[in-house]
Chains A and B, each alone.
Chain A
Amino acid sequence: AQKVTQAQTEISVVEKEDVTLDCVYETRDTTYYLFWYKQPPSGELVFLIRRNSFDEQNEISGRYSWNFQKSTSSFNFTITASQVVDSAVYFCALSEVETSYDKVIFGPGTSLSVIP
């Protein structure tokens, strides 16, 4: 079973629309980390955010915000007022500290296209 599910394979939005990328994870560990990475068309992997399992506080960084809900095992990512530069593949990832120390499991990614 996939440990990190990103059900949306591809999303297209028009510039300035808000968009939410879903991430659902599966773990039995009580201590774990969740991440979001961005991979723009140029190919590099850019770290966006890390959240540990004990910190359910939502976070906002500019136009980006993250909603962590342990009750639903979700860590969703919202881009407000999307821009063309947001076009990229976005990966959600999980690191289970107790089960598999040192290993990060990536979801399959969501390809976001922002149309001008």
Chain B
Amino acid sequence: DTAVSQTPKYLVTQMGNDKSIKCEQNLGHDTMYWYKQDSKKFLKIMFSYNNKELIINETVPNRFSPKSPDKAHLNLHINSLELGDSAVYFCASSETLPGGPVTQYFGPGTRLTVL
């Protein structure tokens, strides 16, 4: 069974379009994340949600809007796509204990190409 799943795996679109990436986890975790990995493989956190509430927003352009309908889902909607948005986007989830979040488990990634 897939623990963290993302759809689609590949997304090719034109500049200016709006697109969404979906993420679901079946691990029972209460914290979910979106990361962006650029062409140099650098991984940077974009958002974090804990029990459907936004915890981290790392100065991401407001064209990016995460939506968490429930704690098992965290979708990413991107408006007015730009060339620089081309990257691999990873969803992740983790359990949160009193001492802090523990290990993050990642989805397979969505490779977004903006033409």
Q: In the complex, A47→B4 CA distance in Å?
A: 13
B75 contacts the other chain (CB 8 A): no
**How many A-B contacts are there with CB distance less than 8 Å?**
59
- Contact yes or no, B100 A97, CB < 8 A: yes
- Is there a chain A Cβ closer than 8 Å to B83's Cβ? no
**A102 near B41 (CB under 8 angstroms)?**
no
Contact surface of B with A, Cβ cutoff 8 Å: 31, 40-45, 48, 50, 55-56, 88, 90, 92, 96, 99-106, 108-109, 111
A102–B42 touching, CB < 8 Å: no
Across-interface contacts of B104 in A (CB, < 8 A): 35, 47, 104
Q: Are B103 and A103 in contact (CB under 8 A)?
A: no
Partner of A103, one of B40, B45, B105, B111: B45
A35 to B104 Cα, complex, angstroms: 10
Chain A residue with the shortest CB-CB distance to B35: A106
Residues of A in contact (CB 8 Å), total: 23
Q: How far does the alpha carbon of A105 sit from the alpha carbon of B104 in the complex, in Å?
A: 12
Q: Which residues of A contact B99 (CB under 8 A)?
A: 31, 97
Question: CB distance A44 to B109 under 8 Å?
Answer: yes
A42: nearest chain-B partner, CB-CB: B108
Cβ B109 vs Cβ A103 within 8 A: no
Query: Of all chain A residues, which has the CB nearest B90?
Result: A45
Tell me if B106 and A45 are in contact (CB < 8 A).
Answer: yes
In contact, B106 and A95 (Cβ under 8 angstroms): no
Chain B min CB distance to A107 (Å): 9
Contact partners of B41 in chain A: CB under 8 A: 39, 89, 108-109, 111
Among B43, B44, B96, residue most surrounded by chain A Cβ atoms (within 10 Å) = B43
Q: Is A102 a contact of B103 with CB atoms below 8 Å?
A: no
16 contacts across the A-B interface (CB closer than 8 A): A31-B100, A35-B104, A39-B41, A44-B106, A44-B109, A45-B90, A47-B103, A89-B41, A95-B101, A102-B50, A102-B56, A102-B100, A102-B101, A106-B42, A106-B44, A108-B41
